[in-house]
């Protein structure tokens, strides 16, 4: 049995009894759950299709997105790339705790180095997903915690770096799924097209009806032609708690 380290805890994800190691500045939020549902087709994007599909998660953190996707897309093989050694170790041990070592694997590396250290991965994935850092380096008030700083700010790799890595890993016609923030939309579309990942669908997420979007779900296809769809907004909260559409993600 994999042991927890000081400051860590084992949390139930709510998906098929799967559990994730968290703590020490590494905890997942609703963004990760939304991205997993977006990738699996629950929220309107074209889902990953085929048997034994290969999925890569860039900036995987403690591995919660591959963990949830293993439940939502049965038969998939999912990998993750994570620079922070502590988070990578959590992801690796999370896979072991859930008995998923045969389906989940994790690489402790910078996305900028994948071309050099893993040339065999070029063009080998049906889908790439990412919940990358949202803020440019030097913007806002950075966290004093180094783990949170690297997770939220583009300290070692920026949006373009993540997208270039995604384009390198994707098969022609492969799908890219990302969760990000509305204030970066212009950057997102610019960088995606620079990497020949054509934006195909965007879904705004609002805290509750009547509020401005604070999250964007983005879907693109490598080498596709132009034509993008803006989907209806998704509200996270209602007067009774989570909205019915959000609760449906957990069913």
Q: SS3 string of 18-31?
A: CEEEEECCECCCHH
**Residue 220 belongs to a domain:** yes
Q: What is the CATH number of the domain that holds 149?
A: 3.40.50.150
Count structural domains, the chain: 1
**Residue 79 belongs to a domain:** yes
Q: What SS3 state is found at 111?
A: helix
Question: What pLDDT score was predicted for residue 1?
Answer: 61
Question: What pLDDT score was predicted for residue 65?
Answer: 98
**Residue 2 belongs to a domain:** no
**115 within 8 A of 88, measured Cβ to Cβ:** no
**Residue 211 belongs to a domain:** yes
Question: What pLDDT score was predicted for residue 154?
Answer: 45
80 forms beta bridges with 57, 106
DSSP state of 14: S
Domain with 81, as residue range(s), is 8-249
φ/ψ of residue 130, rounded to 5: -160, 140
**Residue 152 belongs to a domain:** yes
Q: Whole-angstrom Cα distance, residue 236 to residue 234?
A: 6
DSSP characters for 128-187? EEE----B-TT-S---SSHHHHHHHB-SS--HHHHHHHHHHHEEEEEEEEEEE-GGGHHH
Provide the 10 A C-beta neighbour count for residue 206: 17
**71 within 8 A of 18, measured Cβ to Cβ:** yes
Along the 251 residues of the chain, how does pLDDT read in single tens digits? Answer: 678 999 999 999 999 999 999 998 778 999 999 999 999 999 999 998 777 899 999 999 999 999 999 999 998 999 999 999 999 999 999 999 999 999 999 999 999 999 999 999 999 999 999 999 987 755 555 554 454 545 565 477 899 999 999 999 999 999 999 999 999 999 999 999 999 999 999 999 999 999 999 999 999 999 999 999 999 999 999 999 999 999 999 87
Judge residue 185's burial from the number of C-beta atoms within 10 Å of its C-beta, 0-12 exposed, 13-18 middle, 19 or more buried.
middle
**Residue 1 belongs to a domain:** no
């Amino acid at each position: 049995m994999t042991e927890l380290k000081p400051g860590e805890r084992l949390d139930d994800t709510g998906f098929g009894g799967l559990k994730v190691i968290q703590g020490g500045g590494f905890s997942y939020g609703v963004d990760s759950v939304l991205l997993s549902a977006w990738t699996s087709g629950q929220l309107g994007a074209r889902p990953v299709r085929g048997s034994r599909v290969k999925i890569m998660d860039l900036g995987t953190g403690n591995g919660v997105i591959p963990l949830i996707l293993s439940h939502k897309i049965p038969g998939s093989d999912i990998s993750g790339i994570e620079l922070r050694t502590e988070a990578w170790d959590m992801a690796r041990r999370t896979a072991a705790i859930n008995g998923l070592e045969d389906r989940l694997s994790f690489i402790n590396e910078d996305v900028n180095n994948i071309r050099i250290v893993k040339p065999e991965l070029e063009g080998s994935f049906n889908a790439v997903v990412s919940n990358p850092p949202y803020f440019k380096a030097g913007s806002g008030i950075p966290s004093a915690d180094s783990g949170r700083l690297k997770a939220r700010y583009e300290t070692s790799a920026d949006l373009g770096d993540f997208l270039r890595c995604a384009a390198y890993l994707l098969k022609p016609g492969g799908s890219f799924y990302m969760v990000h923030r509305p204030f970066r939309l212009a950057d997102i579309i610019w960088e995606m097209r620079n990497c020949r990942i054509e934006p195909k669908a965007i879904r705004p997420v609002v805290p509750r009806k009547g509020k401005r979007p604070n999250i964007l779900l983005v879907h693109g296809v490598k080498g596709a032609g132009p034509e993008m769809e803006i989907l209806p907004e998704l509200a996270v909260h209602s007067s009774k708690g989570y909205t019915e559409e959000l609760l449906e993600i957990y069913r």
